[in-house]
Amino acid sequence: MSEARHFRVTIAYDGSAYHGWQRQDNAVTVQEVFEKALRGLTGQDITVQGCSRTDTGVHAREYVLSFSLDSTITCRGIRFGMNSRLPDDIAVLKCEEAPADFHARYCCKGKEYEYIIHNSQVKDPFYRNTALRCWYPIDEKKLDRAAKHFVGTHDFKAMCSTACTKENTVRTIYRFDVRREGDLVIFTVSGNGFLYNMVRIMVGTLLFVNEGKIAEEQLPGIISSLDRKRAGKTVPPQGLYLNKVYYDEGFDGFERG
């Protein structure tokens, strides 16, 4: 048997058919499907480490995973071999050898998410699983201004699910922008880490600002209150995308904004 080699693989996936990334006993997940394809390619049972626990229905344009393998297979062989075995809603974008101590989750320095809203009175079947439809007119300039209240280091307990088990709920948001592209309103947020449902609750809170249910100037007080009940709704998962994952040793999210 050859000496173990370590790999860093970047994938993209449409999460519509999956119950998130992490393997579960009673539901199909991206991790399970990826590991099954990897077993078919290598003949080995390999546990893959993912960079994030994406929820049911959430998508990823850039998702990083890591694993070790006793094989002489090349990175090109992994990329092409996996893409021939994976379903069409999961793709290997890149494969590279990594240091032995690289871990997709623990080495991550920051992430960027996008949330997409189809803002139209007429539904579009092509956005059914890839964006949230909202018929109420959205003032993207107002929400871009309001989103800046989230930037900085805060205790985001008010912006995470009550099911969140993290004891430390302090996170740093590097940037939060809202822009319009035709009928699509796109929320882009990057930070050093995110709590359970945090992005979906922040977007839902901004939608409450848009609808006049929360005043923009109330946002700092809502954040500091640590009270989930004062924030907005949790928007559905289909509009959420893990957009980028950062590992650079010198990564400074404020410079990336």
In degrees, rounded to 5, the angle at the alpha carbon of residue 163 between the alpha carbons of residues 157 and 168 is 40
Helices (H), 1-107: 30-42, 75-85
14 given a catalytic annotation: no
Give dist(CA 148, CA 146) in Å, integer: 5
Instruction: Name the catalytic one among 14, 45, 55, 89.
Output: 55
* Secondary structure string (H, E, C) spanning 105-124: CCCCCEEEEEEEEEECCCCC
| Cβ-defined contacts of 122-126 (< 8 Å, 24+) | 124/183
Q: And the tokens for 96?
A: 């590279």
Give dist(CA 57, CA 41) in Å, integer: 27
Give dist(CA 68, CA 48) in Å, integer: 8
Partner residues linked to 172 by β-bridges: 153
The residues, ordered by sequence, that sit 6+ positions from 40 with a Cβ below 8 Å of its Cβ are: 85
Catalytic residues: 55
